[in-house]
A and B are shown apart, each in its own frame.
Chain A
């Protein structure tokens, strides 16, 4: 009986949601008529290149128009990492080993990881440094770098990333992001305002504070995700 009710409820909710979403013509331009600047999307598409000299409009939205949201999202990640660390925190006993993986991984993985690891780091750095020019950005680049560290964790049983270094990178990147924002306030403009010159379109150094912020985000995300992996790997349940 109870199950029948739950099924009925799910069907009703599903039907209402499906009906609502079917009214939106996905795939069609939901940005509105680009010439009538009715939606904010149209405004972004029309004005970004001219006003910010940024080729990647998505980056311009994420880091400049809605940069405050991005600061919030970075904080969410920071909190998730801190929360995880606080929940899995355990005082280490003396002489305890860090990593509990007992077996070495295969020769193939070890050699491959050693070869690919630097390439992954370079790719990650490339993605976040060129965030304002090509698809991708700080979050993606950071995640790529963290995946490189994951590979190393899997390949070598006592591969270790210093928690100290991670904390430093994470904190300094976060401080840089907020400081860029406060810099705007101090120089008489608004918080996170693009106070640097925007340069010419498609140059590496262009877009004002956008690349600066994305580099900070890249470092922060990389350090945080690596820290999460490290925390999870070092967590042992008491037997």
Chain B
């Protein structure tokens, strides 16, 4: 069996169906199996990335033996491969982090690991697939796993957050399905490359309607304003590793699908301006909302939305440098926000309330955790020696190159807001008066391990951005080369 992209989907599914049986054999297997699968997928990522980088050609895998337009295919290009590898890497770390999750109760643990693994598979599938309806199916897998994980703790707030997410998410699926239906009546195919090829035959009015339906449906998953009402609740009520998964994987899949639709499927120029405008609104509103939050996880959630707005702006500029910056920011956001969620969850765990005020002085009790959180906070606002600095810089340069100076000003101003609310937390951690509560929950070994790895990656990329920029440059080139995408996928059939 040659290593191929379908392993990303087939093996987690096989494992998920096996797990209820294996749980009867040994309780520990439930925890080990997802890790084994994810580690193997990490290995697959390395092998495939190497192959793609060497040949410079994407790997296009046909499924069920039917060539491009008739059947479904998976596309592992330098762009999708980069995102998939990032997702699998993050998922593995999050698995290590949550290894001892729900140690006392076995039945919920089984469900948790199945849902978590499917969340990963769904996000990876969205990125890998070359078929628009298949993308919808993977969106559904991701969404349904997310709903259940959001209300996993089964308290009142969790149920509310889960229900809200369920309602908005169902609306998103409906819009996306309508868009796909309309698209099929116009072009007679579901293959994305062939849709892109035939798009010029679609009447403009129809094209715009379809695009709007897509933007609404996918914008909900990508946390675009004003469709992101579910996000703060979902992030703050879900278990912490799930919050990290949302930031590192699910949102990335949402943004990817939005970008794929706008960059590859449609040829409407106005869509780019639309991205910039929605991005700016999302960024400004989310960052100001984050400043007002007293709950740490909600603050992180709003900050996450803001970062996605930033990513949308960068994609909207649309030049090669800007797309490079956007992908770099997506990478940074995945590692940094996960670190913040992981370390932040221990502060929440150790304080009486979820409030930032309840965490005063906790950095003295947990010097190492405080240190990690501070690295995350400094990196995400874009201070120089950390990785977040580079992505912000590249996006600013790209904006300045297009002489969008107002945009540069807005981004810099919003950065100040960002600095204010992150530094407020860091200051509270170190200089606040410690509460004399002595209930101390120490992180597990796995927790220490994955957080340390993330912090090291942040510093490493901060000092030597070259280790990652090569991949991102090639990813950006691949994304922008629409002609190559079409010819690569369709030439398989002829």
Q: What residues of chain A have their CB less than 8 Å away from a CB belonging to chain B?
A: 16-17, 20-21, 23-24, 30-32, 38-44, 64-69, 71-73, 75-76, 78-80, 82-87, 89, 91, 167-168, 170-172, 174-175, 178-179, 181-182, 184-186, 189-194
Name 23 interchain pairs, CB-CB below 8 A, sorted by A.
Answer: A20-B182, A20-B206, A24-B182, A24-B185, A30-B188, A40-B190, A64-B64, A65-B64, A68-B64, A69-B134, A75-B13, A76-B140, A79-B141, A79-B148, A83-B144, A86-B112, A168-B21, A178-B14, A182-B10, A192-B63, A192-B65, A193-B63, A194-B64
Q: Is the CB of A72 within 8 A of B125?
A: yes
Q: Which of A78, A85, A175, A186 contacts B18 (CB 8 A)?
A: A175
User: Pick the contact of B1 from A32, A38, A172, A185 — CB < 8 Å?
Assistant: A185
Chain B contributes a number of interface residues (CB within 8 A of A) equal to 58
Q: Kindly identify, within residues 164 to 189 of chain B, every residue whose CB is under 8 Å from any CB belonging to chain A.
A: 178, 182, 185, 188-189
Top 4 closest pairs, chain A to chain B, by CB: A83-B148, A39-B188, A174-B17, A86-B111
Q: Is the interface of A mostly helix, strand, loop or mixed?
A: helix
Contact B137 A69 (CB under 8 A): yes
Residues of B within 8 A of A76 (CB): 137, 140-141, 144
Is A79's CB under 8 angstroms from B115's CB?
yes
**Complex: A72 Cα to B149 Cα, angstroms:** 19
Q: Which residue on chain B has the smallest CB distance to residue A173?
A: B17
- Distance in angstroms between the alpha carbons of A168 and B13 in the assembled complex: 16
**Chain B residue at smallest Cβ distance from A189:** B65
- B384 near A: Cβ within 8 Å? no
Separation of A7 and B275 alpha carbons in the complex (Å):
27
What is the CB-to-nearest-CB distance from A164 to chain B, in angstroms, rounded to a whole number?
A: 8
Contact of A40 among B20, B62, B70 (CB under 8 A): B70
**Given contact pairs A64-B64, A78-B17, A193-B64, A69 touches B148 in the complex (Cβ within 8 A):** no
Distance in angstroms between the alpha carbons of A41 and B178 in the assembled complex: 18
Partner of B6, one of A17, A65, A66, A191: A191
Is A191 a contact of B148 with CB atoms below 8 Å?
no
Residue-wise, chain B 129-156 has the 8 Å CB interface mask toward A (1 for contact) of: 0000110011011001101110110100
B118 adjacent to chain A (CB < 8 Å): yes
Contacts of A21 in B (CB 8 A): 182
User: Is B71 in the interface zone, CB < 8 Å from A?
Assistant: yes
CB distance from A84 to the nearest CB of B (A): 8
Contact between A89 and B188 (Cβ–Cβ < 8 Å)? no
A71 touches B13 (CB 8 A): yes
Within 8 Å by CB of B17, from A20, A23, A171, lies A171
Chain A residue numbers with a CB within 8 Å of B61 are: 190-191
B21 touching A167, Cβ below 8 Å: yes
Residue from A30, A172, A178 with most neighbouring chain B CB atoms (10 Å):
A178
On B, residues with C-beta under 8 Å from A are 1, 4, 6, 9-10, 13-14, 16-18, 20-21, 61-66, 69-72, 105, 107-108, 111-112, 114-115, 118, 121, 125, 133-134, 137-138, 140-141, 144-145, 147-149, 151-152, 154, 159, 162, 178, 182, 185, 188-191, 205-206, 209
CB distance from A37 to the nearest CB of B (A): 10
Nearest chain B CB to A78's CB is how many angstroms away?
7
Residues of A within 8 Å of B14, CB to CB, are: 175, 178-179, 182
Selected contact of A78 from candidates B16, B105, B137, CB within 8 Å = B16
| Chain A residue with the shortest CB-CB distance to B71 | A65
A187 to B147, CA, bound (A): 38
Known pairs A40-B190, A72-B138, A75-B16; A86 contacts B148 (CB<8 A): yes
How far is the CB of A161 from the nearest CB of chain B, in Å? 16
Question: Nearest chain-A residue to B178 (Cβ)?
Answer: A17
Chain A residues with Cβ below 8 Å from B108 are 86, 89
Q: Is the interface of B mostly helix, strand, loop or mixed?
A: helix
Q: How far is the CB of B44 from chain A (nearest CB, A)?
A: 13
Q: Which of B18, B65, B71, B147 contacts A83 (CB 8 A)?
A: B147
Minimum CB–CB distance from B401 to chain A (whole Å) comes to 37
Contact A75 B141, beta carbon cutoff 8 Å: yes
Q: Among B9, B20, B63, B205, which residue has its beta carbon within 8 angstroms of that of A67? A: B63
In-complex Cβ contact of B64 among A67, A83, A91 (8 A): A67
Candidates B21, B63, B121; contact of A191 at CB < 8 Å: B63
Give complex CA distance A193, B148 in Å: 33
Q: Which residues from chain A contact B65 at a C-beta distance below 8 Å?
A: 184, 189-190, 192-194
Whether A178 contacts B144 by the Cβ 8 Å rule is no
Instruction: Output the nearest chain B residue to A70 by Cβ-Cβ distance.
Output: B137
- Residue numbers in B under 8 Å from A91 (CB-CB): 105
- Alpha-carbon separation in the docked complex, A219 to B466 (Å): 52
CB–CB A171/B18 < 8 A: yes
Query: What's the least CB distance linking A173 to chain B, in Å?
Result: 8
Cβ-defined contact, A89 with B107, below 8 A: yes
Q: Which residue of B64, B105, B152 contacts A190 across the interface (Cβ within 8 Å)?
A: B64
B209: which of A20, A31, A179 is its contact (CB, 8 Å)?
A20
Residues of A within 8 A of B159 (CB): 87
Q: How far is the CA of A86 from the CA of B147 in the complex (A)?
A: 11
Among A82, A181, A184, the residue within 8 A (CB) of B111 is A82
A79 touches B137 (CB 8 A): no
Write the chain A residue with the least CB distance to B187.
A39
The answer to whether B152 touches A23 (Cβ under 8 A) is no
In Å, the complex CA distance between A122 and B121 comes to 36
| Nearest CB on B from A214, distance (A) | 14
Q: Chain A residues with Cβ under 8 A from B145's Cβ? A: 79, 83
Inter-subunit contact B1/A186 (CB<8 Å): yes
Please tell me if the beta carbons of B115 and A83 are within 8 angstroms of each other in the complex: yes
Instruction: Please determine whether B17 and A68 come into contact, CB atoms closer than 8 angstroms.
Output: no
